[in-house]
Amino acid sequence: MVKDSYNFIALGKAVVRIEQDAISLLSDRINHHFAKACELLLSCKGRIVVIGMGKSGHIGNKIAATLASTGSPAFFVHPGEASHGDLGMITSQDAVIALSNSGETSEITSLLPVIKRLKVPLISLTGNPTSSLANFADVNLDTSVKKEACPMNLAPTASTTAALVTGDALAVALLEAKGFTENDFALSHPGGSLGRRLLLKVDDVMHTGDEIPIVGEQTTIGDALLEMTNKRLGMTCVVDKSGRLSGIFTDGDLRRSLAKRVDLNSTEISKAMTVNGKTIVADKLAAEALQIMEENAIGALVIVDQNHKPIGALNMYDLLKAGVV
């Protein structure tokens, strides 16, 4: 029978407290051992191979993914598969991170002689600093906890949290040491929103050629509206006789013209347009186009070349569709 709901709240808070305590213990363990581990990983000319069994394996997989996405090439190898051929993925240029709370996981300890033969640096994350794995490793990082959050002190909970935080600490320390930047992050995450904001250029999303709404200065407002309607960008470029941009006519300009009761069929667009208007060049980031539009409360932007001639146009919907917004 399910107990009263307040017990769930109390139990949940107890788990959080236990895991907070486990993390707080790690602070004093960020010492010379941690620094040596970072130096070994930083000097690795190959890849960082992470191994772990069971729940430690799940944490190891996450640590490998975090390292790889922050500039330290890494991958996870299941120790059970490693002894049946996958150990061939480790080369003499690599470094190994092994996770085992007990430090006596047989699937990992059985690999230690081969790792030693390869002469690759071995960093262990264990809850037992006197274990076989800890003693064999070049550096052992202590991830021991006072107790697991599990009431029976059996299910890996606080210990896996401690190992994960230690892995994050290694990854971020290496990130800083390597001078890893937002652009580097974007290159390894091209499908993510940050990647799109940092990699996508204006010329990747702008409309070109016949899709650009363009009229001459002598065009009437009525005819300009037809161009706007056909091109569906909510604006039109206005160019002089040499093809240089002289202004932009937008939905806002139309509303202002209507408020003044301007004759749309006889008034030239040059009398109602926004002179010059905001522009951008094609090799700028799409995110910069978004910033210009937001700062000036406009919904569209003209892309010009070095002679100030329109070569493209885009609106907020284009940026939204591209995932920049």
DSSP state string for 208-259: -GGGS-EEETTSBHHHHHHHHHHHTSSEEEEE-TTS-EEEEEEHHHHHHHHH
* Surface-to-core class of residue 112, CB atoms within 10 Å of its CB (0-12 exposed, 13-18 middle, 19+ buried): middle
CB of 67 within 8 A of CB of 116? no
- Listed in order, the ranges of the chain carrying CATH 3.10.580.10 are 202-321
Closest by Cα among 281, 225, 290 to 253 = 225
Q: Residue for token digits 């210990």?
A: 159
Look at the domain 5-180 and name its fold. Rossmann fold (3.40.50)
Q: H/E/C letters for each residue in 111-126?
A: CHHHHHHHCCCEEEEE
pLDDT at 199: 67
Taken in order 231, 235, 241, 244, is the CA torsion positive or negative? negative
pLDDT at 97: 97
- Return the DSSP state at 270: G
From residue 76, alpha-carbon distances to 60, 95, 123, 295 in Å are 7, 12, 14, 45
Per-residue pLDDT of the chain (325 residues; tens, 9 = 90+): 455 556 888 889 999 999 999 999 999 999 999 999 999 999 999 999 999 999 999 999 999 999 988 888 899 999 877 665 556 678 889 999 999 999 999 999 989 988 888 899 999 999 999 999 999 999 999 999 999 988 777 788 999 999 999 999 999 999 888 876 666 565 555 555 555 566 678 988 899 999 999 999 999 999 999 999 999 898 999 999 999 999 999 988 899 999 999 899 999 999 999 998 889 999 888 888 889 989 988 889 999 999 999 999 999 888 888 777 6
- Listed in order, the ranges of the chain carrying CATH 3.40.50.10490 are 5-180
- Give the SS3 label for residue 264: coil
Closest by Cα among 296, 276, 278, 280 to 288 = 280
pLDDT digits (tens, 9 = 90+) for 250-307: 988 899 999 999 899 999 999 999 998 889 999 888 888 889 989 988 889 999 999 9
Which of 3.30.450.20, 3.40.50.920, 3.30.70.270, 3.10.580.10 is the CATH number of 202-321? 3.10.580.10
